[in-house]
Structure 1
Amino acid sequence: MYLDLPVFRRCCCCLPVRHGIIAFGYFHMVIACLMISLESWLLTKGYDASKPAPTVFNGVGFMVQVWVVFVLYAVDIVFTVVLLVGAHRKNTRLMRVFFYYSVTTLAASFLLFLITRGNVHESLLYIHIAEMFFAVFCFGLQIFILLLVRSEIKKLKENTGHRFVNHAAEVCVDIPTGNGHNPF
């Protein structure tokens, strides 16, 4: 079965793809820093570090040791920095590294969501429905960012030479890559 993934030219119908990736990267960096500061604040307020703490990562809520939360968000910040550097410098290799990391965390988060939401009690049904909508929203946002990064990588790989477009006449002219002499 053949499936064409969409190639975006704009992010959210207003920004160019690269600027949208940079905006989402900085937003993601702020959220990750806020989550690390929230967990640090929890520890300073007398929370027992030996007990599991509630956390949310990629839209999935779960209970885990506090040090695991720090590791998850620290790795997330590192890969977000890799994305931002790759997007600013138009480096496809760095953006591809983030792409693979993001695909892996999306798959792991989806698997964790399926495992943790297996037992639904009827008394907590509304809470589980709200968590499910939040997780679906976060998964959708992460898939959208993945498609943006893929579109930018594809665009950067295709733009090897200069190209001029005359929008009035709908004519495209490619600059020859030879030594500058007319081949005719």
Structure 2
Amino acid sequence: MRVEIPQLKRCCFCMPLRRGLLTWVYVKLVLALIASLFLLAHAIVFNRRSVSGTLYAATIIGLIQFLLEIIFDILFLVSAHKKNFTYLRIYYRYAVVMLVIQVIAVLMFIAFEIYVIVEHPLVLLMFNYMVEITFFALGQTGLQAYFVILVRSELLKLENNTQFEFVNHTSEPECKAQIIV
């Protein structure tokens, strides 16, 4: 079964595609910087206390993820400002891979929630909290999918926007004269 991915002309139905993507990536970049600084501060605090290795490893993995996000956001900003097709394609591939990882993580989280509810009925007291986290994760995944579709639309627009011009010479008048001497 083949599914066509829509090609969007505007970001959030109101902004031009390129400006909307640039705005979105600037916001993502600021949020990734804030989150990485937050995790870095926690890593420093964890280093002072004796904390389990799992929590420390999760913090390091989170830092690596946010640093990758920052690097690729900067790559996207450069490619969008310069209209560089190659860098934008690299960012698009990164965004698709991160979307797949995010979908897998959300599905694993939902499966874990179902397992916890079945095995430990007392957890139902925290059911509202678990539902909120699930809807937040699903919403974030949906936004990431929308962003990937927007990047793909910009990529297709750049790919189709070549500098070739077709000139119709048949519409130019020709003048022929025959001189007899």
TM-score (norm 2): 0.78
Partner of 2:39: 39
Choose from 62, 86, 89 the match for 2:82: 89
Partner of 1:71: 64
Moved more, 3-12 or 63-72: 63-72
Choose from 121, 140, 143 the match for 2:142: 140
Distance 1:97 1:7, change over 3 A: same
Distance 1:49 1:97, change over 3 A: farther
8 A Cα contact 1:49 1:65, kept in partner: no
**Ranges in structure 1 where 5+ consecutive residues have no aligned partner:** 54-62, 163-174
Moved more, 129-138 or 106-115: 106-115
List per-residue Cα deviations over 1:43-77 (Å, max 9, x = no partner).
Answer: 34456475344xxxxxxxxx953222211111111
Partner of 2:93: 100
Choose from 127, 145, 160 the match for 2:129: 127
List per-residue Cα deviations over 1:58-100 (Å, max 9, x = no partner).
Answer: xxxxx95322221111111111111111111111211111111
- Greater helix proportion: 2
Distance 1:36 1:2, change over 3 A: same
- Greater strand proportion: 1
8 A Cα contact 1:106 1:139, kept in partner: yes
The letter for the 2-side match of 1:176 is F
Partner of 1:30: 30
8 A Cα contact 1:29 1:80, kept in partner: yes
1:183 deviation in Å? 4.4
Partner of 1:4: 4
Partner of 1:182: 169
**Ranges in structure 2 where 5+ consecutive residues have no aligned partner:** 118-123, 172-181
Q: Distance in 2 between matches of 1:144 and 1:49?
A: 41
Moved more, 104-113 or 139-148: 104-113
- Partner SS for 1:65: helix
The letter for the 1-side match of 2:38 is L
Q: What is the RMSD computed on CA atoms of the aligned residues?
A: 2.3
Partner of 1:150: 152
- Partner SS for 2:169: coil
* Structure with larger Rg: 2
